[in-house]
Amino acid sequence: MNELPQSILFCCDHNSVRSPMAEGLSKKLYGTDVYLQSAGVKSDLDIDGFAVAVCEEMGIELSRHKSRSFDEMEQWGDDLSSFDLIVALSPASQRRALELTRHSHLEVEYWPIMDPTGLGESREDRLVYYRQARDQIRAKLIERFGQGMAAS
């Protein structure tokens, strides 16, 4: 377990499932101790309803999340080099993050989190896969940064 960085950017393919879940879970675990954001390689999808539902089960509000891409972050003045750590939750986002940070000394970690989209037939089946992805993210956060406020 390592010390909590001051700022973390979570990224995945569309910023609609895994990275918003990671951002929301982190905010619940670590509160305002750390600056947390998320982004995607693309921002062509809205927040996923199943991601919203499984996070709501843990008291995490995601429905107001606005998806954004790395390019939009730059346009809006969010400089990647201002983050202490980038956590990539998909291979494509890891490649993009490494590409964008190749001239800085920014740490990019890859966490292989399952992509639950398109898995399962019924709503209940789908929720099972989304819960698995959510729980994988939560377990990685606690393993990497500790219990945070969950311990109190």
- pLDDT > 90: what percent of the chain? 71
Give residue limits of the domains in the chain: 7-151
Q: Please state which CATH class domain 7-151 belongs to.
A: alpha beta
Q: Report the side by side order of strands in the sheet with 85-88.
A: 35-40, 7-12, 85-88, 107-110
Question: Which residue's entry shows tokens 């999340």?
Answer: 65
Confidence of residue 150 (pLDDT cuts 50, 70, 90): low
Yes or no: say if 33 and 109 are a contact pair by the CB < 8 Å rule: no
Which pTM value belongs to this model? Answer: 0.92
Could you report the per-residue pLDDT of 1-29, keeping only the tens digit for each?
A: 568 899 999 999 999 999 999 999 999 99
Count of all residues that appear for the chain in the document: 152
pLDDT in the model for residue 106: 86
Q: How many whole angstroms separate alpha carbon 80 and alpha carbon 99?
A: 11
Structure token digits, residue 148: 């945070």
Residue 136 pLDDT greater than 90, yes or no: yes
- pLDDT > 70: what percent of the chain? 97
Task: Report the Cα–Cα distance between both ends of the chain, in Å, rounded.
Answer: 18
Q: HSE of 18 in the Cβ direction (CA atoms, 13 Å)?
A: 30
Residue 151 pLDDT greater than 70, yes or no: no
Can you list the alpha helix ranges (DSSP code H) found in 3-150? 18-30, 49-56, 70-75, 91-100, 123-145
Structure token digits, residue 75: 């346009």
pLDDT in the model for residue 152: 43
Could you report the per-residue pLDDT of 46-93, keeping only the tens digit for each?
A: 889 999 999 999 999 999 999 999 899 888 877 788 899 999 999 999
50 residue type, one letter? F
Q: Which long-range contacts (CB under 8 A, 24 or more apart) does 74-79 make?
A: 78/37
Could you report the per-residue pLDDT of 24-44, keeping only the tens digit for each?
A: 999 999 988 899 999 999 988
